[in-house]
Amino acid sequence: MVSDKDTVYGIIRETIRQIPRGKVSTYGEIAKFSGFIGRARMVGYALRNSPTGMKLPWHRVVNSQGKISFRRSRHHAMQKTLLVKEGVTFKGEKINLAKHRWRP
């Protein structure tokens, strides 16, 4: 069955799916582009609930500071690796958002 919330998460995932290779976006921006201003946390929640089979470019979503939102974990290391492999440049722990920020 399909509820309104499923739709909300679906829209968020659709937006994330549009992020091209080598580009990144932030939780707040994704929420905004999806029509949910101020609901950045919902983006994180939607991703957390998305199984790997969803094949979303989850690694292209970082926080507003250009940093990875995971604390020490495999995900943190993997995300950075995947991004670097796509050509995203890091300045220490931060991504150069001015250069890689994506907009729809």
By CB under 7 A, name the binding residues for DNA: 5, 26-29, 38-45, 47-48, 50, 58-59, 61, 63-65, 69-70, 75, 79
User: Residue 50 CB, nearest distance to DNA (Å)?
Assistant: 6
Neighbours of 79 (CB within 10 A): 19
User: Residue 23 CB, nearest distance to DNA (Å)?
Assistant: 15
Of residues 19 and 61, the one with the C-beta less far from DNA: 61
Distance CA 51, CA 56 (A): 9
